[in-house]
């Protein structure tokens, strides 16, 4: 199973102590470093370099004005921010039905951001761009006949919609990979999101699309981020009605309950009869992850292995896209446990 990565994704040089952010910032370059080390130790590396597909496949998912903002925001905001200070939203966020895009960069950040968790640094656009290229390059390998390929994406992507960013995410890598698979094959694609948090951006991108089936198992949005998406009643819209499914789960869910719910979700995937599968693989579903604001799930590393085995057993050409997972002392182990399941099926 090939892995794909671009070292340029590390240009998003966040740290645990981010200026202007009151809490510990967990989406750091160290996440990739521990995964790469674990892949190498397990004989699953080194990864191949991502190839440049240009902006075309990204534009197939994201709005042009949003991309222009992400590309220009750091340099443009130097007129109001000193040196290498991160650009954060100014505290105001546009609500549904907004019509006016303000001129100021900090106000535009609030226009496009759903929260205050995404700093824009000097290297953020380059990192997000190459994170998407990793997903595209992994999809290329599946299109070329590989049974599965892993995209080690950083920053992650599933909270980014066509025109908004948030939750550590700037570009939606899984959605970009799915559209790339479709561009080459005109086939139906299923996206299964196992991240602890609901992939609201992925849901919104495909909400009215009958050719992409999106299903997500995640923490109940009444208890956890992103709060405003992820309910069981969100089934898609118009021609996409029935092509979006959510399984919100309460805190403390253990292996047995999670796997039983996953079996239900995967039965619905099989019924859709997709030609390809994209997995948003967030390892923050494993117990103890610091991203949980409640007590999180009680899924064990062994349970994660079984989750990977269930997904691999679908037998579909699969692109695994890295999303969350913030336990640096075990993140590499979790990635290896999950990815090995695709090497044995």
Joined tokens for residue 49: 């370099």
End-to-end CA distance of the chain: 11
Tokens 């992507």 — which residue?
Answer: 157
CB 307 within 8 A of CB 262: yes
93 is catalytic: no
E strand or H helix at 244: strand 244-249
Catalytic member of 12, 62, 159, 198: 159
Instruction: Select from 229, 41, 8 the least CA-distant residue to 124.
Output: 8
**What is each CA distance from 269 to 147, 156, 311, in whole angstroms?**
18, 23, 10
Residue 190: exposure state from Cβ atoms within 10 A (0-12, 13-18, ≥19):
buried
C-alpha to C-alpha distance for 115 and 104, rounded to whole angstroms: 18
DSSP 22: S
Distance CA 107, CA 134 (A): 31
Residue 116, class by beta-carbon neighbours within 10 Å (0-12 exposed, 13-18 middle, 19+ buried)?
middle
Query: Quick check: bond before 265 cis, omega within 30?
Result: no
What gap in Å lies between CA 115 and CA 216, rounded to an integer? 21
Cβ neighbour number for residue 184 with a 10 Å cutoff: 14
- With beta carbons less than 8 A apart as the criterion, state whether 195 and 218 touch: yes
Backbone angles phi, psi at 52, to 5 degrees: -85, 115
Residues in the chain: 345
What residues are labeled active site?
Answer: 159
């Amino acid at each position: 199973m090939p892995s794909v990565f671009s070292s340029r994704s590390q240009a998003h040089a966040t740290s645990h102590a981010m200026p202007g952010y009151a809490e510990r910032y967990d989406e750091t370059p160290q996440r990739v470093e521990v995964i790469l080390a674990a892949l190498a130790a397990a004989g699953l590396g080194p990864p191949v370099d991502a190839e440049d597909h240009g902006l075309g496949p990204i534009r197939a998912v994201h709005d042009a004005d949003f991309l222009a903002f992400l590309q220009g925001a750091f340099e443009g905001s130097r007129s109001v921010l000193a040196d290498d200070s991160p650009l954060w939203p100014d505290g105001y966020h546009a609500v549904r039905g907004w019509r006016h895009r303000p001129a100021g960069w900090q106000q535009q950040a609030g226009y496009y951001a759903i929260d205050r968790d995404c700093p824009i640094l000097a290297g953020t656009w380059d990192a997000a761009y190459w994170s998407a290229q990793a997903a595209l390059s992994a999809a290329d390998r599946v299109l070329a006949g590989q049974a599965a390929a892993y995209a080690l994406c950083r920053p992650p992507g599933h909270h980014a919609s066509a025109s908004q960013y948030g939750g550590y995410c700037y570009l939606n890598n899984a959605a970009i990979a799915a559209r790339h698979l479709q561009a080459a094959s005109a086939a139906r694609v299923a996206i299964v999101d196992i991240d602890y948090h609901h992939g609201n951006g992925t849901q919104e991108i495909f909400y009215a699309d009958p050719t992409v089936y999106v299903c997500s198992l995640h923490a109940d949005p009444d208890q956890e981020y992103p709060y405003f998406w992820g309910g069981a009643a969100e089934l898609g819209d118009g021609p996409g009605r029935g092509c979006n499914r959510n399984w919100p789960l309460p805190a403390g869910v253990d292996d047995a309950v999670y796997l039983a719910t996953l079996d239900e979700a995967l039965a619905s995937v099989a019924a859709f009869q997709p030609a390809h599968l994209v997995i948003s693989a967030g390892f923050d579903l494993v117990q103890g992850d610091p991203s949980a604001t409640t007590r999180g799930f009680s899924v064990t590393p062994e349970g994660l292995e079984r989750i990977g085995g269930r997904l691999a057993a679908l037998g579909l050409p699969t692109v695994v896209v890295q999303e969350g997972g913030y336990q640096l002392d075990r993140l590499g182990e979790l990635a290896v446990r999950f990815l090995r399941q695709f090497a044995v099926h």
